[in-house]
Amino acid sequence: MAKYEVLDYSMPRQCGHYPPPPYIYPKMRAMVCLFKAPLELKKKFLPSELKAIEFPFDAIFIAEYPDSTIGPYNENLILLYCEYEKGKNGLFVMNIYVTDDGALTAGREIWGYPKKMSEIFLSQIKDNKIHGTVSRRNKKIIDIEAELMEKTPGIDPSAMIQGFPLINLKLIPDVENNSKPVLKQLTMTNIEWKNITIKKSLKIKSIKSEYSEYDICSELLNGSQMDIGGFYIQADQVLPNGKIVKDLTK
């Protein structure tokens, strides 16, 4: 983990909670499970500024970062394919969970990732099998069992992650006015994967999502087609600065 002292960049202003991007994640590993949410269900979970469109897949990531610019942590994302500008498509970050408070505050405050703290587990590969879970407030909101296949993935992982930008709705509440945010932006980030050392297809054995009144995973996942497959990857990841697609602040 890098040491940093940047004044007036992030709170607290001295020894801030996180440094400026880019963030580097050497030797990360992740299981990526593809699913397909029905169009009407997808519309329910997308902000009005984004358009739900038909596509062969949406995605669930469960990742382990043994080291990074802000230290080691685990992460989970649920991504919905959408149109963010006419003719331009990306993956909306519906939910994202992390195991580190620095990752949480940096993600929220820089890019607008809707992060929450949770317990995230990604097993080591044993007998070509892998298991990933996300637990929060005593509920196992994601539980995935999968088998690694010898064949290469049907989709190129690098093309997927680099071809579809991650889209966020960044919201900062107003300290005085509870009726609207003081900042509202659609943001876009293009993650990069380098030095891929392992890339294999996944056969999904089971995906379960326990109902929780504090999270919305189960309604989406239990109402979607979950047998599409996925892939497992080990690589170096780079998270750069993002871009403002549209400033919606009024």
Report the alpha-carbon distance of residue 171 to residue 168 in Å, rounded.
9
Which pLDDT belongs to residue 159? Answer: 76
Mean pLDDT for the stretch of residues 78-85 = 96
Which pLDDT belongs to residue 157? Answer: 77
Mean pLDDT for the stretch of residues 219-236 = 93
Which pLDDT belongs to residue 14? Answer: 80
Say what the pTM is.
Answer: 0.93
Which pLDDT belongs to residue 151? Answer: 74
Mean pLDDT for the stretch of residues 49-59 = 92
Judge residue 103's burial from the number of C-beta atoms within 10 Å of its C-beta, 0-12 exposed, 13-18 middle, 19 or more buried.
buried
Q: What residues contact 8, with CB distance under 8 A and at least 6 apart?
A: none
More confident residue, 6 or 140: 140
* 87, HSE (Cβ side, Cα atoms, 13 Å): 0
For residue 114, is the peptide bond before it cis, meaning its omega torsion is within 30 degrees of 0? Answer: no
Q: What residues contact 121, with CB distance under 8 A and at least 6 apart?
A: 74, 131, 132, 133, 134, 135
- Residue from 74, 196, 202 nearest 135 by CA: 74
Mean pLDDT for the stretch of residues 159-175 = 90
Percentage above 90 pLDDT, the chain: 84
Residues 97-152 have pLDDT tens digits of: 999 999 999 999 999 999 999 999 999 999 999 999 999 999 999 999 999 998 77
The structural domains of the chain, with segments of one domain joined by +, span 24-247
CATH architecture of 24-247: Beta Barrel (2.40)
More confident residue, 34 or 1: 34
